[in-house]
Amino acid sequence: MSVVQHLINGELVSKGGRTAEVFNPSIGQSTRKVELASRATIQDAIDSAKAAFPAWRNTPPAKRAQVMFRFKQLLEQNEARIAQLISEEHGKTLEDAAGELKRGIENVEFACAAPELLKGEYSRNVGPNIDAWSDFQPLGVVAGITPFNFPAMVPLWMYPLAIVCGNAFILKPSERDPSSTLYIAQLLHEAGLPKGILNVVHGDKEAVDALIEAPEVKALSFVGSTPIAEYIYAEGTKRGKRVQALGGAKNHAVLMPDAELDNAVSALMGAAYGSCGERCMAISVAVCVGDQVADALIAKLEPQIKALKIGAGTSCGLDMGPLVTAAARDKVVGYIDDGLAAGAQLVVDGRGLRVSGNEDGYFVGGTLFDRVTPDMRIYKEEIFGPVLCVVRVKSLEEAMQLINDHEYGNGTCIFTRDGEAARLFCDEIEVGMVGVNVPLPVPVSYHSFGGWKRSLFGDLHAYGPDGVRFYTRRKAITQRWPQRKSHEASQFAFPSL
């Protein structure tokens, strides 16, 4: 059985320590092992990054961008291989894996604009013979901790921009599906990245804590669950680090009486059940304004959910694959049990699904609950599985209050033809990413991604313009060259124009 190694100083290395099994969720079998980094291994990666940083910081941004241009080309050339690795270890369909990679490549494209992104600002003659400018300088060694559900895209949210800004980066990907992440990092070295600028270390909490506690690590980016996001934010900022920690979600879609229902249903099917619901932007609650809308929605959703094509992610032409682990499957089944016990109406039951030829896979079918109420666990908590809950309300105001009262504020959307309703929703909803007739309002790479409330800890969102600011420090410089043979008296008042 092969072992997924660390990538330190441009080389694959094995430390011979603890390992964890990596499963193919479609067949329910361990197919690889992955090394788990000790604190000593993390320190090796930090030392490598620290040694490589000074030369990279002084490399012109245009030359850093050239590496990213070559990296983008290699990602596109190896799309099939990357999608295969994602599907083998995560379980998502090949088509979904390819789509994930394409969204990641968008961020590499944005990073290619480094000379423009890092230009700074300049003002001449802010005072007599005085010029001022601001410069955006790299932090040094920075790190990212990424989740299992997007092993290609989320790391690509982080290190291309951090690196093109002049930093050295340490990536700790999920140990559940590490192979695609490691392969992509190797492609970046093939594109000409100097050794030590990107290091990949696999591990669990020991590795995370080592990165948090290391004084050489100046910033931490994280995407994952809210409890861990809050922990990393608290522990990192306590040590003076810059932290952006993206947490969980409970994303609502509001359906107004004037919504184009067929289009809304198609959108909800993909947003709720795509990637088996293992997305932080998945729609998991449909808020119907009026019983007539709810009844019509249920009638259209039920047959489509029952007709979902579910199987091994590496097969073609499927709608949905398995959940990532047996524990994830059991957790989702537990939520379905709980919703039924709490009194929600189970319209479509995904429990007990068996896929022919893949009977040991971690499968749960598409599940639909109606008449869910805000006091139920299936409404309050992030299930992270193929479960859609329908909540009935009487007005848009009631729907908005429901959303604003929730602890999460990651993403939301409204389906309507009414511009006034859409504008009110966009203005007043307390959520960081909003869609109007768009079910998954994930910003493109030249905007920034992030929620509100307990979906984000930190002041700056991921990638885009906020990403540039996160991975750089502003330095303000004021410069004066006195005229020759001139003498000025001392000035004791605070200087002003």
Tens of pLDDT along 304-323? 999 999 999 888 889 999 99
pLDDT at residue 25 in the model? 97
pLDDT of 127 strictly over 90: no
What local confidence, expressed as pLDDT, does residue 129 receive? 85
pLDDT reading at 111 higher than 70: yes
Question: Does 262 lie in the same domain as 239?
Answer: no
Same domain? For 241 and 370 the reply is: no
**Domain identity same for 149 and 22:** yes
Name residues whose C-beta falls within 8 Å of residue 261's C-beta, 6 or more positions apart in sequence: 255, 293, 296, 297, 300
Cβ contact 219:211 at 8 Å: no
| Integer CA distances (angstroms), 419 to 51, 289, 415, 422, in order | 55, 16, 11, 5
The CATH number assigned to the domain holding 160 equals 3.40.605.10
Confirm whether 335 is domain-assigned.
yes
Say whether pLDDT at 348 is over 90. Answer: yes
pTM: 0.94
394-423 per-position pLDDT tens digit? 999 999 999 999 999 999 999 999 999 999
Who has greater pLDDT, 142 or 125? Answer: 142
How far, in Å, CA of 351 to CA of 367, rounded? 8
Q: Tell me, what's the pLDDT at 146?
A: 98
Residues 85 and 188 reside in one and the same domain: yes
Helix pair 153-164, 179-190: axis angle to 10 deg: 30
Q: Are residues 12 and 28 in the same domain?
A: yes
Amino acid identity, position 181: T
Q: Which of 293, 272, 273, 276 is nearest to 284 (CA)?
A: 272
Q: What is the percent of the chain where pLDDT is above 70?
A: 99
221-280 pLDDT tens trace: 999 999 999 999 999 999 999 999 999 999 999 999 999 999 999 999 999 999 999 999
- 431 dihedral zone (left: phi>0; alpha: psi -120 to 50; beta): beta
Active site residues: 280
Distance CA 397, CA 474 (A): 42
Q: Are 164 and 61 in contact (CB under 8 A)?
A: yes
d(CA 224, CA 146): 7
Same domain flag for 42 and 71: yes
Domain extent for 171: 3-247+455-477
| 386 shares a domain with 266 | yes
Q: Locate tokens 């119907």: which residue? A: 288
* Residue 493 pLDDT > 80: no
Q: Does residue 208 have a pLDDT over 90? A: yes
Distance CA 332, CA 352 (A): 12
Domain contains 444: no
Task: State the average pLDDT for the chain.
Answer: 96
Q: What is the Cα gyration radius of the chain? A: 25
Domain total in the chain:
2
| CATH classification at residue 349 | 3.40.309.10
DSSP H helices in 215-359: 226-238, 261-273, 291-306, 326-342
Give the residue among 136, 75, 148 at the shortest CA–CA distance from 106. 75
Residue from 215, 251, 211 nearest 231 by CA: 211
Q: Does the structure show a pLDDT above 70 at 469?
A: yes
Cα–Cα dist 238/209, whole Å: 13
**pLDDT given at position 133:** 93
274 and 286 inside one domain: yes
In terms of Cα–Cα distance, which of 260, 305, 278, 289 is closest to 224? 278
Counting Cβ atoms within 10 Å, is residue 119 exposed (0-12), middle (13-18) or buried (19+)?
A: exposed
Whether residue 256 is found in the same domain as residue 228: no
Report the run of H or E that residue 435 belongs to, with start and end: strand 433-436
* Region 469-473 average pLDDT: 97
Neighbours of 392 (CB within 10 A): 19
Question: Within a domain: residue 82?
Answer: yes
Mean pLDDT, to the nearest integer, of 3-10? 97
176 and 141 within one domain:
yes
Residue 450 domain-assigned?
A: no
Report d(CA 282, CA 367) in Å as an integer: 14
DSSP-derived secondary structure letter, 320: B
Average of per-residue pLDDT across 426-452? 95
The answer to which of 129-133, 157-161, 471-475, 482-486 has the lowest mean pLDDT is 482-486
Token pair for 26: 């479609």
pLDDT of 497 strictly over 70: no
Is 211 inside a domain boundary? yes
Q: Kindly state whether residues 173 and 266 are assigned to the same domain.
A: no
Q: What is the pLDDT of residue 451?
A: 96
- Phi, psi (degrees; rounded to nearest 5) at 154: -65, -45
Return d(Cα 442, Cα 73) in angstroms, integer: 24
Residue 401 to residue 284: CA distance in whole angstroms = 17
Domain assignment present for 283: yes
Closest CA relative to residue 456, chosen from 152, 157, 225: 225
Q: What is the pLDDT of residue 116?
A: 94
Q: What is the pLDDT of residue 77?
A: 98
User: Average pLDDT for residues 269-292, to the nearest whole number?
Assistant: 97
Confidence of residue 1 (pLDDT cuts 50, 70, 90): confident
- Closest by CA to 91, choosing from 253, 276, 248, 245, is 276
**Does 319 share its domain with 346?**
yes
Compute CA distances 470 → 50, 65, 167, whole Å: 19, 18, 11
Whether residue 487 is contained in a domain is answered as: no
Domain assignment present for residue 488? The answer is no
pLDDT for 367 equals 98
Question: Residue 270: exposed, middle, or buried by beta-carbon count in 10 A (0-12, 13-18, 19+)?
Answer: middle
